[in-house]
Structure 1
Amino acid sequence: MFVVVGATGNVGFATSLALRKAGAPVRAVVRDSTNAAPLRELGCDIVLADLNDADAVAKSFADATAVQIIIPVAPRDKDPAAALRHSIDSLIKALKLAPPKRVLAISDYGAHVADDIGMPTVFRGFEQLLGQLDVPKLILRSAEHMHNWARVIPVALESGILPTFHDQLDMTFPTIAAPDLGRIAAELLLRPADERNLQVSHAEGPRRYSANDVAAALTELSGRTIVANAVPRSQWKQAFEKNMTSSLAELLIKANDAQNRGGLVDVEPGSADVFHGETVLIDALRPLLARF
């Protein structure tokens, strides 16, 4: 039995789909049943459990061969950063209460960096807590998701300017389509169990892209000229806080600073275990434009 926590999300659903296609039984853990119909159609067992209810989540782990966990970020929460850390603590407690045979945890590029670089540092703490568990662990660090560009697509379509926090418009960075990440996770879960207590892998797309590449893809898809424009560093805080609380904005500002420095929000040095998705940027952006 494979248990997928957060199975209604883009990554969790993709993992569930890939596992079911392989004929594996899946128990999908969801917060509410509103969006569970597609999972039921796949043949998943549905279990309702709030991530912050460690006892309920632990019960969903019963008899699990493996559990996939992903920590969701809730930008609309009163304090998303605190909620993120609370969810981590709750999941760790659940894993201690009901240890599965294996755990696959979705983490973040840059989680190996000791300095405080915002969001990746939160996941560094997550990995450290996981390290205390006496169960075999697969940590899959994910590059930034391609669908995150959806936040600024309306502005780009209206103005012809793609705002970006990448201060070097031609600097390429790792990114991945969420469905590819879920599929890679499923492939790892279906592999025979490894004797190692801890494995760390990375996942990104078929190639790396720059902000200029994103603008070019949007130009091709929309039929109008769109150019990338770096948001001045002095305006970042104001720009982020239009859509989120200051605590979450701080995490993302630090992460973008680290990304612009280069080599930090990236594959851990010396790691050769990097998986590549198949979805190219323009194909990931195509359905996003259909929303506007």
Structure 2
Amino acid sequence: MKNIINVAQLAKRFGTTDVLNGIDLTIQEGEVFGFIGHNGAGKSTFINMLTGIINKSSGSFEIIGTSDQQLDDVKAKIGVMPDISNLYDHMKGIQFLRYMGKLAGDTRTKQDYIALMKDIGLEGAEKKKIKAYSFGMKKKISIAQALLGNPSLIILDEPTSGLDPESAINIRKLIVDLQQQGKTILLTSHNLDEIDKISDRVGILSDGKVKKLGTPDELKNNTSSELSVAIRTNPTLTSQKLAELSANWDFNVQFVTTKKKYVVVNVPHDNDIAKLSKELIHSGFQLFELRMEQQSLEDVFINSK
């Protein structure tokens, strides 16, 4: 499978601040690539460089076989979800899409535009002015704009943030449909469960670099050589109590997080699980449940900072 995006040592500096510090990355044709990072990690800066909104400081990239020096040659093949502040509030929804479609060389009929608005969850809002749209509706029409002109690469920045659960599910289905049509999607989101469900590969951006890269399963299975164990006890085991007790144990145990009635810890080896169970009971805890726990993408993300 060929790469639709190739990035080599891409960097961006604002003044004395390095926002991106030598990114190496490839995105394959036809995949949904999830790009995640904390606020301020540089995701939007990365997208803005790929789309020519801001200039790079150093490094290089290619999109659809074209170098960043000739980016204008392929912009028509890239669909970008705009910020909702850039929408034309005085226009009606259908009017706005037809106008932007004309600029993008889109050949849809009026009925096609109506069908598009239905697909993204704006049925019945075609003749309503955008200024009367809710935040979620504005996000949806921004997604529709990114699809105009039949682009081969679609960049969606936080497409489901602010949407109700049903609308978010519909947008995820739309992304899957677009991929089945042969589109490549670069997706950013703070909803890590969403990224896990629909991404073929995921890149985690931290400290200006891509710290982890792989399929969701690869990231969850290969993040640590240690074993994660979920424990339910009475009384509930706290991180402070665990630190106090484990100081006297002959094996290592590390507190990870709490999940409802469970505490999650890491131990180095299989036989340490039996030791942990024995020590907790010996310390007066009632042990109701102890099970192996696969790391979530959220765990991977937290450990990548």
TM norm structure 2: 0.29
TM norm structure 1: 0.29
| More strand, by proportion | 2
| More helix, by proportion | 1
